[in-house]
Amino acid sequence: MSARVVTITSGKGGVGKTTVTANLGVALAMRGQRVVTIDADIGLRNLDVMLGLENRIVYDLVDVVEGRCRLRQALVRDKRLQELYLLPAAQTRDKSALRAEDMVRVCDELRESFDFLLVDSPAGIEQGFRNAVAPADEVLIVTNPEVAAVRDADRVIGLIEAEGKGPARLIINRLKPELVRRGEMLDMEAVLELLAIDLIGIIPEDETVIMAANTGRPVAFADNSPAGRSFHQIARRLMGEEVPFAPLKEPGFLERLFRWMRSEGEEQR
């Protein structure tokens, strides 16, 4: 048994990497997977607050790397689930406190005891990004249906391929069906065609995500929100299940979109 290391990255900041990491961690753990979410954003950590675990941190990733504690001591267990852990980033250090080899070593040590290691990458394409990608078996790119986010995603996709970590798969986050319907937002087909990459999930804009961030309880804990359902679908796809997307060609776009949104609801479990 050996965990798969999945790195979540984006290029642009603020597109939802940390939200995606937290929710996939929760969704996978709810499905019986043993999961460690790893915050690789040294100096700007946030995965802890997204998961509501900020008060339970004793040691962090840099403490582990610099030998101040054992790896197990730094893992914060999420008591709401059987097997969900957080390996927090250091908050008072910067990216230079970590090297790519450190990330590879830490992940290798965790591999045998878990099913998934989800690495939350910092924004950008510098050292922090490289550290996060170094241990990855696969990479998920998060983007929003906006010009700047798609452009940065394209850049990162190129870098991932150059590193031999491709092909990455895409998560389109914060899609607003109403705007798409009016033609005022890039639709799924446009984004996929532009980026020439496989899709693993679409997450609709959903205000419960904001409420979840306020309380530190990711939406994936409940399956009654559109975003929560989308995260569970992505988790199932990560676990190798065939979860169909709505048919992509025949019916009109509107019909397709509504059908897709409905199926997102029904296919959950």
Partner 1 sequence: MKLLDRLLHRQEPPSGEIARERLRLVLAHDRANISPGLLEVLKDEIIAVISRHVPIDPEGVQVTYTEGPRINRLVADIPLRTERRAQRR
Interface residues with partner 1 (CB under 8 A)? 146-147, 150-151, 154-155, 158, 179-180, 182-187, 190, 194
- Nearer to partner 1 by C-beta: 211 or 254? 254
Q: Is-contact 126 42, C-beta < 8 A?
A: no
For the stretch 42-46, contacts whose Cβ atoms lie closer than 8 Å and that sit 24 or more positions apart, written own/partner, are: 42/89, 42/90, 42/93, 42/94, 42/95, 42/97, 42/98, 42/122, 42/128, 43/89, 43/90, 43/91, 43/92, 43/93, 43/94, 43/95, 44/89, 44/91, 44/122, 45/88, 45/89, 45/90, 45/91, 46/18
Q: How far is the CB of 194 from partner 1 (least distance, A)?
A: 5
Nearer to partner 1 among residue 108 and residue 161 (C-beta): 161
Q: Residue 71 carries which side chain, given as an amino acid letter?
A: L
Decide whether 198 or 253 has the Cβ nearer to partner 1: 253
Tokens of 53: 């675990």
Name the β-bridge partners of 169: 140, 198
CB of 241 to partner 1, least distance (A): 31
Closest-CA residue to 107 (of 28, 20, 38, 18): 38
Minimum CB distance to partner 1, residue 92 (Å): 36
CA distance 224 to 239: 21
Cβ proximity to partner 1: between 194 and 248 the closer is 194
Least distance from partner 1 to the Cβ atom of residue 212, Å:
28
Least distance in angstroms from the C-beta of 153 to partner 1: 10
Least CB distance to partner 1 at residue 149 (A): 10
Q: Is the dihedral of CA 193, 195, 197, 203 positive or negative?
A: negative
Nearer to partner 1, 155 or 259 (CB): 155
Q: Which is nearer to partner 1, 184 or 266 (CB)?
A: 184
